[in-house]
């Protein structure tokens, strides 16, 4: 059993959100659904919790009501293998009402904050060449979706991210 499980709060969209997220990541599935009972005051056919796995990591979606909203104080970070994965996830998570933020951050249509981050970008914003890192970091701060080639070009001094 996974010791720490992330719980995601929804009004009534927990199952829909879990199905959507599972469609985006390999090795993902819904593992259990618990429903409200008549005693709860909510519809008995409404899921109270939906347990699911994304790429083998466990999550629980909870239909707890609409009184709480997400903030960027906590987000789901996806370390992407390449630009193609960044582009695919970025587009899918923004579809149907998502919102771009900045520096690889977005909110999906449910309001859940995500960071879609290409793993190679870690190398471009760290290291010993402080001038190159500063250029790459400056380029990143000007982006919403991370574009690796632009960060590489800034790092290499091929473009001025001013």
CA distances for 8 relative to 18, 111, 113, 155, angstroms: 10, 10, 11, 37
Question: Is it the case that residue 62 has pLDDT exceeding 80?
Answer: yes
77-134 pLDDT, tens digit per residue, is 999 999 999 999 999 999 999 999 999 999 999 999 999 999 999 999 998 999 999 9
User: Which pTM was predicted?
Assistant: 0.93
Mean pLDDT across the stretch 148-162? 92
12-60 pLDDT, tens digit per residue, is 999 999 999 999 999 999 999 999 998 988 998 899 999 999 999 999 9
The answer for 75, left when phi > 0, alpha when psi is -120 to 50, beta otherwise, is: beta
């Amino acid at each position: 059993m996974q010791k720490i499980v992330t719980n995601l709060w929804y009004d009534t969209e927990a199952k829909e959100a879990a199905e959507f997220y599972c469609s985006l990541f390999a090795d993902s599935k819904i593992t259990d659904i618990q429903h409200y009972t008549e005693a709860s005051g909510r519809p008995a056919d409404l899921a109270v919790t939906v347990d699911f796995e994304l790429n083998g990591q466990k999550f629980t979606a909870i239909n707890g009501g609409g009184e709480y909203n997400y903030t960027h104080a906590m987000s789901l970070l996806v370390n992407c293998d390449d630009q193609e994965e960044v582009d695919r996830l970025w587009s899918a998570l923004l579809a149907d009402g998502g919102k771009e933020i900045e520096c690889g951050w977005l909110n999906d249509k449910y309001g859940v904050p995500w960071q879609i981050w290409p793993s190679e970008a870690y190398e471009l914003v760290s290291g010993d060449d402080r001038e190159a890192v500063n250029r790459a970091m400056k380029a990143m701060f000007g982006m919403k979706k991370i574009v690796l080639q632009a960060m590489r070009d800034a790092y290499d001094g091929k473009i001025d991210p001013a």
